[in-house]
Amino acid sequence: MNFMVEELATAERLFPGLDQRLREVPVAELESGKSPGLDIFREFGGPALMVPKEYGGLAASLTEGLHVQRLLGTRSPSLSLAANMHHCTVMAMPPCPATEELLTAVVENRLYLASGFGEGKPAASILVPMLRAERHGDGWRLNGAKKPCSLAESMDFLTASVMVTSPDTGEKEMALAIIPAGAEGIEVRPLGDAQVLPGSETREVVLTDVDVPDGHISSLGDPQSLNAALAMVFHIFELMVSASYIGVAGGLVEAVLKERRGSAAERIELVGDLETAMASLEAVARVVSQGDDDPQGVARALYVRYSAQRTVARVAAHATELLGGGSYMISGFSATYFMSARALALHPPARSAMAEPLDRFILGGPLVMP
């Protein structure tokens, strides 16, 4: 079948046999609270995908990363989301001795990095972390919580955004903290009763008097300034998460194609919409360079993310309608993928929150993230 040909080729070249292995596991099992998806991806060396070659990683390009994420979304929405958080963390980590050591260990020991950037409060800014760090001895003491946080059960390290107060200037800065998952004071708690993407291990991670040495906290600068480090975070995340959910919608479309549901015109419309959305992500990915702090590039990544968000919702709804039938409803396949596809709208920054900032930017103002 000539559907997702490039994505399949990329995944097979980087992780031979992974796609077949995932196909062998029932969707209901992959999308359960005890999903083997993350263990399988670890077994195939998945954590090394975006790690640079100098640390022993596969050094996949951003476009290749999009291909892998789309394929994972097709096979398991939960796995795609969890893996996405790991990859984005790897790519956004600021260079310093601690991160270089960590990335080497990620490859050698197939470690997972959980991304603790979410705040879990309506209208809360991702650039104003609720987690706080205070000077303690020759390091920092962290207190607060991160939610939602994917990979919470399988993580080897938690990488979390934190607000620190500079001992020299008294100014508040955003920083990235690297914390071993087994550190004293870390507790993983359930995150409500939500059943969407249960295999992603999305939980609340609470930190109580967790001590972190100086070398494990890297400054990301003033959160109100879209500097190079923060611009890269947004560039990468918006593209990678969009590809993941294009993959989720693709899982439904793949089933429509196999079962020959609907008319030829309907099937081609579904495929064409997804391929157009994916092509827009790839076009933006090809012009992203490390250290790029161009606000126009960040805006472009947001444009294609919100466009993909609308496309994914429309395609998932239409494909689910075409599948119909008792077998897909009884197995839970349609409902699982349909609900998972809608979750793209839940990732920050929300389209409604960015409308005014993007409008001002288009009219010539600076791009300010809410």
Domain containing 74 — which CATH number? Answer: 1.10.540.10
Do 218 and 98 form a contact (C-beta atoms < 8 A)? yes
Among 2, 11, 69, 55, CA closest to 282: 69
Q: Which of 87, 111, 135 is the last residue of a domain?
A: 111
Same domain, 93 and 191: no
CA angle 276, 346, 121 (to 5 degrees): 155
Same domain, 126 and 103: no
Q: What is the DSSP string of 232-297?
A: HHHHHHHHHHHHHHHHHHHHHHHHHHHHT-S-HHHHHHHHHHHHHHHHHHHHHHTT--TT---HHH
Q: Look at residue 198 and tell me if it is in a domain.
A: yes
Same domain, 234 and 269: yes
Same domain, 258 and 335: yes
Same domain, 132 and 182: yes
- How many of the other CB atoms lie within 10 Å of CB of 52? 16
Same domain, 139 and 88: no
Same domain, 92 and 127: no
Q: Is the C-alpha dihedral spanning 28, 252, 75, 239 positive or negative? A: negative
d(CA 251, CA 291): 34
Q: Look at residue 370 and tell me if it is in a domain.
A: no
Confidence (pLDDT) at 121 = 60
Q: Which of 56, 79, 111 is the last residue of a domain?
A: 111
Same domain, 132 and 75: no
Number of domains in the chain: 3
- What is the pairing mode between strands 217-221 and 172-180? antiparallel
Q: Look at residue 78 and tell me if it is in a domain.
A: yes
> Residues near 52 by Cβ (< 8 Å), separated by ≥ 6?
59, 103
Do 143 and 208 form a contact (C-beta atoms < 8 A)? yes
Same domain, 76 and 63: yes
Same domain, 157 and 273: no
Same domain, 103 and 120: no
| Residue 178 phi, psi (nearest 5) | -110, 120
228-259 and 295-323 helices cross at what angle (nearest 10)? 20
Range of the domain at 86: 5-111
- What is the pairing mode between strands 217-221 and 203-213? unpaired
Q: Look at residue 235 and tell me if it is in a domain.
A: yes
Among 315, 310, 316, 369, CA closest to 345: 310
CATH number of the domain where residue 184 is located: 2.40.110.10
Do 259 and 326 form a contact (C-beta atoms < 8 A)? no
Q: Look at residue 369 and tell me if it is in a domain.
A: no
CATH number of the domain where residue 243 is located: 1.20.140.10
Among 298, 297, 300, 342, CA closest to 317: 342
Q: Which tokens belong to 31?
A: 């999308």
Local confidence pLDDT in tens for the 370 residues of the chain: 999 999 999 999 999 999 999 999 999 999 999 999 999 999 999 999 999 999 999 999 999 999 999 999 999 999 999 999 999 999 888 777 888 899 999 999 999 999 887 665 655 566 678 888 888 888 999 999 988 899 999 999 999 888 887 777 777 788 889 999 999 999 999 987 766 899 999 999 999 999 999 888 887 766 665 555 677 778 899 999 999 999 999 999 999 999 999 999 999 999 999 999 999 999 999 987 655 567 888 899 999 999 999 999 999 999 999 998 666 666 789 999 999 999 999 998 899 989 999 999 999 998 887 7
Q: Look at residue 367 and tell me if it is in a domain.
A: no
Among 64, 5, 40, 69, CA closest to 243: 69
Do 91 and 50 form a contact (C-beta atoms < 8 A)? yes
Q: Which of 78, 111, 144 is the last residue of a domain?
A: 111
Task: Compute CA 152 distance to the chain's CA centroid, rounded to the nearest angstrom.
Answer: 14
- The pTM is what? 0.94
Confidence (pLDDT) at 11 = 98
Q: How many Cα atoms occupy the beta-carbon half-sphere of 52 within 13 Å?
A: 13
Confidence (pLDDT) at 119 = 64
Same domain, 247 and 214: no
Q: Which tokens belong to 254?
A: 């793949």
Do 183 and 114 form a contact (C-beta atoms < 8 A)? no
